[in-house]
Amino acid sequence: MEAVFFIGMGICVFLGLLLVGKKQKQRYDWILAGWLLTSALHLLYFYVSIVTGVEGIPKYLLVAGALLAYLSAPVLYLYFRELLAIRPYRWFHYAVHLMPFLFMLTAFYFFEHTLGTIRVAIRNVVIISRGEVPWYLGHYSLIMAFCCVSYLFYVIYLLYKHQKHVKEEFSYTDKVTLNWMRHWLILEFVGFWITFAIIWVADFQYITLVTSFKVISVVVAVNVFVIGLFGVRQGVIFQPVQPLPDNGQPEPARQQTKYAKSTLDAQLIDQSKEKLEKIMAEDKLYLNPRLSANDLAEAMGVSRHLLTQLLNEEIGSNFYDYVNSYRLREFKDRVSDATNDHLTLLGIALDSGFNSKSSFNLIFKKQEGITPTQYRKKIMLESVESGPVRAD
């Protein structure tokens, strides 16, 4: 059972090396690598303090290890924040989230060295303070739990906002909706309450101390595996917005393409709608399975914000539904063509711009009320019933 500590640390090191060796690393890759290092140190602290009971380790290192959860939750939050492409932080913003760890660490050392009546020790991986200490040091573990769950709730909020925003930016959903993060959040909640029950509720009364932290280490290792596995494979979601080309337009004309809080100008509406319909009908950009709002806006020569406003206010659709309505129409036209009878439904769907079977089936069933297979059978039956057209 002691192998769980080494397995967890091994996963941290392995996934960390994969991230460091990843091509075109983003800032969130480095943050995730830092979180994996923090998790490895946390597991090492559990092993050294509980399983081996090695003596002679400096007390300062042991206290720092006991407070690592103060560091783990903020770093993981910063990773998700970068992943969701929220307004970039400057270095001092990152430092703010590391302050709880540094503050508690400094406070323990300060009171021990300035007050002769205060002594700090580590017993059963819990910091024991002898003497009168401020309330926040006496309840450091509960404050730690509160901080962890607070960050967790905020990540849930950010993910909810992101998944609502995705359909305004992309015509596909794979690797951009971050559904894996939602599954991880469920796992994290379960893991948190297991840990909470063992440490604060049961108070190590029903299972031995070593067994308790072996269970907790399993929770940490599973958490590391899920985050690391999907984090290593996660690619860039949002691309930088390209500036509009000058095209020799006078400044007032170019200003018309900016997002406006007021109602769009009637002439600009007509021009933009006409340009949008022409591009979609003639250039068939929807056949690109990775089409984004940035791509379409650039092809139209307008800002992405104006395109979004046009779709929402004038056409009554979001970008995702609008583009996939064209793909659906393309698919139905191709299925109705007898020359495509030898092709599979998935093959036709991919040729029509859909990028996965699951998203295609979901969209088709939602719009048509039947499955693609049922639709094809319906088309073939109607063709047989109508019979061949006799030429006069």
Per-residue pLDDT tens over the stretch 330-367 = 999 999 888 888 889 999 999 999 988 888 999 999 88
Domain that holds residue 354: 324-392
pLDDT exceeds 50 at position 142: yes
Compute the average pLDDT of residues 113-122.
59
pLDDT of residue 262: 44
Q: What is the CATH number of the domain that holds 148?
A: 1.20.1070.10
Q: Are residues 304 and 329 in the same domain?
A: no
Query: Is 243 among the domain residues?
Result: no
Q: Based on the domain organization, do 382 and 273 belong to the same domain?
A: no
- Per residue in 194-224, pLDDT (tens digit) is 777 776 665 556 666 667 777 778 888 888 8
Of 177, 200, 233, the last residue of a domain is 233
- Tell whether 266 and 200 lie within a shared domain: no
DSSP at 126: E
218 and 281 both lie in a single domain: no
Residue 261 pLDDT class (50, 70, 90 cuts): very low
**Co-location of 187 and 293 in the same domain:** no
Residue whose entry in the numeric block shows the structure tokens 């049922």: 374
| Residue 254 pLDDT grade (very low, low, confident, very high; cuts 50, 70, 90) | very low
Which pLDDT value is given to residue 291? 92
Other residues' Cβ atoms within 10 Å of the Cβ of residue 233: 11
Q: Which of the residue ranges 71-80, 82-91, 241-250, 341-350 would you say has the lowest mean pLDDT?
A: 241-250
- Give yes or no: residues 329 and 385 share one domain: yes
More confident residue, 136 or 359: 359
In a domain, 98, yes or no: yes
Same domain, 41 and 178: yes
Local confidence band at 249 (pLDDT 50, 70, 90 cut-offs): very low
Number of residues that this document lists for the chain: 392
Q: What is the model's pTM?
A: 0.71
Q: Do the domain assignments include residue 366?
A: yes
Shared-domain flag, residues 273 and 349: no
- Does residue 82 form part of some domain? yes
Let me know the angle formed at the C-alpha of 130 by 125 and 132, rounded to the nearest 5 degrees: 125
DSSP 10-74: HHHHHHHHHHHT-TT--HHHHHHHHHHHHHHHHHHHHIIIIII--S---HHHHHHHHTHHHHHHH
Q: How many helices (H) and strands (E) does the chain have?
A: 17, 2
